[in-house]
Amino acid sequence: MRKRLLITITSALLVAALAPAGASASIAGLRSADPIVVTGARVPALIGSAPQRIIAYRYSAKRLRQVPVQVDERKLFDVGNAYQPALPSGEQTLVYADAAMSAGADNDLDFDSNDEIALLGSSVGGKAPSNLALPSTLRGRPHQWLRVRDPISGEVGYLLLGAARPGIKIDQAAGSHPLKYKFALASGQPYSSYRRAQGPNPESSSLTTPFYSLGFSDRWIKDRLKIRAKDATGVDILDMHKSMVSARSCARSERTFSDGEGAFLTNRVGPVRAIRDFIGANSGPMTERRELMYPGREDVETFLRVHAIGTVFDFLDYSAAASGMTYRNNLNTAGVTVDGRPDVLVPGLPKWSQVSGDQGTLTVSYSHQTNIVGLPMTGYYVDSTTPTSPQCTGDSASYAASGAAVTSGMTTTEPRESGYSNFSTSWKLYFGGRSSGGAKKAAALDRRARQPLQSSVVR
């Protein structure tokens, strides 16, 4: 009896020790890879501050601790003005300001209503007592507490944002530098030498985080991807991110897009994310791809702006080094083996797909936005060492080449044409180790991708 009681007490203590120190621990754990993005309009007290003086804290273990924060200024910009001579599209969109690239610096160099503050889910803390003294950096300075909510679990957490006192040395990264992104032309020349009227513009650009690494060989040529999370082998499982008008023709591909006219709007990196944003896809010069690269997640956004083209294909073609991984999607949860031998899949447009094996786990959540009613879309999948479709770029095989396609009816999305429609896609890629595979885990990541962390100012 006594012994059993002792065991019960010990277990209770153990549970207490393992339990999250407040509701926020769940957000910081389960949603560590997901970003929290807040526009200036949502934190009015900070408007007018110097962007590089904004710092963030969380309350944890009875004190305030600084966490990484990044401020990315945005501006309304006609992307056609990135060309020389300018090729105005007549449409203004919000782009990330970059004085070194074609987007240029923001028109308002202070933190303004459309600028963004980006933080990571892993930084969220608990609720601080209302009488808690502010850190010396923020005493008498504008500051606001942000309440962060996970719409899936209902859990909440908090972050303190403020504009640091002038004269005090601060580090917005809080000592954390998980992202190494380098935009580099293979020529070694600066961006001012970029051939905007006619490519190619070979690059040796790369991104490395503790969870993955990427390589870019030209504007549209993303041809290296290694999963570095946990126990992943870290081999390069990507042949090419392929973007084509037709999967049966090499007339238009990521190669011809890169060889044609184009420009970079943005190439930025900070402690929370790297931003790579470019335009130019042959007769769709305003067509834009924006990569938002967080430590454990990559968001790939594509904005189609081109005359009527009928069909579009966008997919990741893996490399022979992906052999042995399991490919699955929400319509084929049991999965098939990536081996260059054809598989029979239930057809349809997947919500998510995943490749998982010793090489690590990559889960992709797909979404698209359009005002074209009833646009027919489906999934794309080819696993074959002797594919019937031309490869156009990269190697001669298709290893679990998978993504999405518009199969007909892609009407004009060109802003210079009357009656144009909108079509854009957003893929969210999560990187994990060997044990991160499986349909259940993929579905959970897909839910997180679709239901971003919410935030609101509380005081």
Among 236, 317, 414, 446, binds Ca ion (CB under 5 A): 317
Question: In the complex with Ca ion, which residue's Cβ is closer, 339 or 414?
Answer: 339
What is the smallest separation between the CB atom of 159 and Ca ion, expressed in angstroms? Answer: 21
394 is a site residue for Ca ion (CB under 5 A): yes
Minimum Å gap between C-beta 401 and Ca ion is 7
Q: Which two tokens stand for residue 450?
A: 């679709």
Between CA 259 and CA 263, with CA 261 as vertex, the angle to 5 degrees is: 110
Nearer to Ca ion, 263 or 401 (CB): 401
**339 belongs to the binding site for Ca ion (CB under 5 A):** yes
Minimum distance from residue 384 beta carbon to Ca ion (Å): 8
Characterise 18 by phi-psi region: left (phi > 0), alpha (psi -120 to 50), beta (else).
alpha
CA-atom Rg of the chain in angstroms? 23
What is d(CA 396, CA 386) in angstroms, rounded to the nearest whole number?
A: 7
Strands (E) across 125-237 are located at: 143-149, 156-163, 180-182, 205-208, 212-218, 221-227
Residue 239 CB, nearest approach to Ca ion (Å): 4
Nearest to 286 by CA among 8, 82, 140: 82
Each residue of 420-438: b (16+ CB within 10 Å) or e?
A: bbebbbbbbbbbbbbebbb
Site for Ca ion in 229-268 (CB under 5 A): 239
Q: Please report whether residue 116 would count as binding Ca ion according to CB under 5 A.
A: no
SS3 for 356? strand
Considering beta carbons, is residue 72 or 288 the nearer one to Ca ion?
72
Question: Does residue number 98 form part of the binding site for Ca ion (CB under 5 A)?
Answer: no
Quick one: which segment of 100-108, 178-186, 191-199, 243-251 binds Ca ion (CB under 5 A)?
Answer: 100-108
Whether 155 contacts 187, CB under 8 Å: no
Single residue of 45, 343, 434, 443 touching Ca ion by CB under 5 A: 343
Q: Which segment (277-285, 315-323, 350-358, 440-448) binds Ca ion by CB under 5 A?
A: 315-323
Q: Quick count: other Cβ atoms within 10 Å of Cβ 173? A: 17
What string marks each residue from 154 to 183 as x (binds Ca ion by CB under 5 A) or -? ------------------------------
Which CB atom, from 112 or from 203, has the smaller least distance to Ca ion?
Answer: 112
Q: How many residues bind Ca ion (CB under 5 A)?
A: 14
CB of 280: closest distance to Ca ion in angstroms?
Answer: 24
Interface pick for Ca ion out of 34, 72, 98, 112 (rule CB under 5 A):
112
Q: Is 383 in the site for Ca ion (CB under 5 A)?
A: yes
Question: What six digits make up the tokens of 273?
Answer: 């994310």
Segment lying near Ca ion (by CB under 5 A), choices 18-26, 28-36, 66-74, 130-138: 66-74
Q: How far is CA 260 from CA 73, 305, 337, 392, 429, in A?
A: 29, 15, 37, 16, 28
350 interacts with Ca ion by CB under 5 A = no
Q: Does 341 bind Ca ion (CB under 5 A)?
A: yes
**Close Cβ partners of 444 (under 8 Å, ≥ 6 residues apart):** none
The answer to whether 80 touches 86, Cβ cutoff 8 Å, is yes
Interaction residues for Ca ion, span 191-230 (CB under 5 A): none
- What is the binding site for Ca ion (CB under 5 A)? 73, 106, 108, 112, 115, 239, 317, 337, 339, 341, 343, 383, 394-395
